């Protein structure tokens, strides 16, 4: 039996218990895929990550990311939470950025004051949703086709089907189905501020200081629809879409988890070379040693 450091980290949280938790197992050498999946299912969080020595010569560490039913090549809040755990354990980056190795390749992460920010990875799929997918999304979300301002595949690993609504209020009032017969990963977004429609230059922050509101909904293995509190992968792909289309201007702030009683805060910025950064604060809430 080995003792391995273990931590539970609140990601995209400006204060404790407001973001999205991730469990990080440090020193996961010797655990095989089946064991990692079993540990993840027992912990029963949306994701658990396993920190390993890097295999790529440019990487500072390697991570494997598991949901309750499968391994993901990339996910946003597990990336920042794992990086936070690695730094807390004394990790020192080799260069100006921390470089994470994962199933999607190498991901750059930088320190931004109290926050960490990841470079949005390139999309695996983009372009408008197919007609059949739009019909399915409308049925699942309980909205009319006319409520959708625009739509796009936002796929950098999980495979989000993104729909843009007229306002943050429209996003918050969605009442989705709770049980489905098929897998779905749906992301919705809408602007805060006084505008009732989306035009460049008239969108401003709402009363909560956010510019955009997002919700992420996905099905588990039983077909139950689950809402994710804060989703880095969705925010990364959404930022690429919103900035490229001119609907958003960097820097901007997004909020997620409102309908769950959370207050996840995502800080989006863009470099002059067009690299998009998805940032948030990470707070270690629990830590200790495993007994396996």
Q: What is the pLDDT of residues 108-149, one digit of tens each?
A: 999 989 999 999 999 999 999 999 999 999 999 999 999 999
**20 pLDDT above the threshold of 60:** yes
pLDDT band at 1 (very low <50, low <70, confident <90, very high): low
Evaluated on CA atoms 211, 124, 18, 218, the torsion sign reads positive
pLDDT: which is higher, 202 or 42: 42
Instruction: Spell out the domain ranges in the chain.
Output: 5-120+279-289, 131-265
At 178 the pLDDT is: 85
- Superfamily name with CATH number, domain 5-120+279-289: Diaminopimelate Epimerase; Chain A, domain 1 (3.10.310.10)
**238 pLDDT above the threshold of 50:** yes
At 197 the pLDDT is: 44
At 200 the pLDDT is: 39
Mean pLDDT of 224-252: 95
At 199 the pLDDT is: 45
pLDDT cut 90: percent of the chain above it: 84
pLDDT band at 206 (very low <50, low <70, confident <90, very high): low
Sequence-separated (6 or more) residues with CB below 8 Å from residue 272: none
Mean pLDDT of 153-157: 91
Q: How many residues does the chain have?
A: 292
At 157 the pLDDT is: 83
Q: Distance between CA 179 and CA 193 in Å, rounded?
A: 33
Per-residue pLDDT tens digits for 63-114? 999 999 999 999 999 999 999 999 999 999 999 999 999 999 999 999 989 9
Arithmetic mean of pLDDT over the chain: 92
Q: Distance between CA 220 and CA 10 in Å, rounded?
A: 22
**208 pLDDT above the threshold of 90:** no
Number of H helices, E strands in the chain: 5, 16
Matching CATH topology for 5-120+279-289 and 131-265? yes
At 271 the pLDDT is: 96
- For the whole prediction, is pTM greater than 0.85? yes
At 207 the pLDDT is: 57
Least Cα distance to 104 among 145, 153, 159 occurs for 159
Sequence-separated (6 or more) residues with CB below 8 Å from residue 271: 277
End-to-end CA distance of the chain: 5
Query: How far is the CA of 195 from the CAs of 148, 213, 280, in angstroms?
Result: 16, 14, 26
What's the fold here for domain 131-265?
Answer: Diaminopimelate Epimerase; Chain A, domain 1 (3.10.310)
């Amino acid at each position: 039996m080995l003792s391995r450091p273990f931590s539970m980290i609140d990601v995209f949280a400006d204060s404790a218990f407001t973001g999205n938790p991730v469990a990080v197992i440090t020193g996961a050498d010797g655990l095989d895929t089946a064991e990692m999946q079993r540990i993840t299912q027992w912990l029963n969080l949306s994701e658990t990550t396993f920190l390993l020595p890097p295999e790529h010569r440019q990487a500072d560490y390697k991570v494997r990311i598991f949901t309750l039913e499968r391994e993901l090549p990339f996910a946003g809040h597990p990336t920042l939470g794992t990086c936070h755990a690695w730094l807390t354990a004394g990790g020192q980056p080799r260069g100006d950025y921390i470089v994470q190795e994962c199933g999607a390749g190498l991901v750059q992460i930088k320190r931004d004051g109290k926050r960490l920010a990841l470079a949005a990875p390139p999309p695996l799929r983009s372009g408008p949703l197919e007609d059949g997918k739009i019909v399915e999304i409308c049925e699942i979300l309980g909205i009319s086709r006319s409520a959708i301002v625009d739509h796009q595949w936002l796929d950098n690993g999980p495979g989000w089907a993104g729909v843009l609504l007229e306002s943050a209020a429209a996003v918050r009032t969605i009442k989705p189905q709770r049980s489905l017969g098929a897998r779905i990963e749906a992301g919705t977004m809408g602007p805060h501020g006084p505008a009732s429609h989306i035009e460049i230059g008239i969108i401003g922050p709402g009363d909560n200081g956010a510019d955009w509101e997002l919700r992420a909904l996905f099905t588990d293995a039983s077909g139950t629809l689950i809402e994710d509190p804060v989703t880095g992968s969705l925010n990364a792909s959404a930022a690429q879409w919103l900035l490229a289309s001119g609907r958003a201007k960097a820097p901007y702030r997004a909020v997620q988890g409102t309908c769950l009683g959370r207050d996840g805060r995502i800080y989006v910025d863009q470099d002059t070379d067009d690299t998009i950064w998805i940032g948030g604060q990470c707070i270690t809430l629990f830590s200790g040693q495993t007994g396996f």
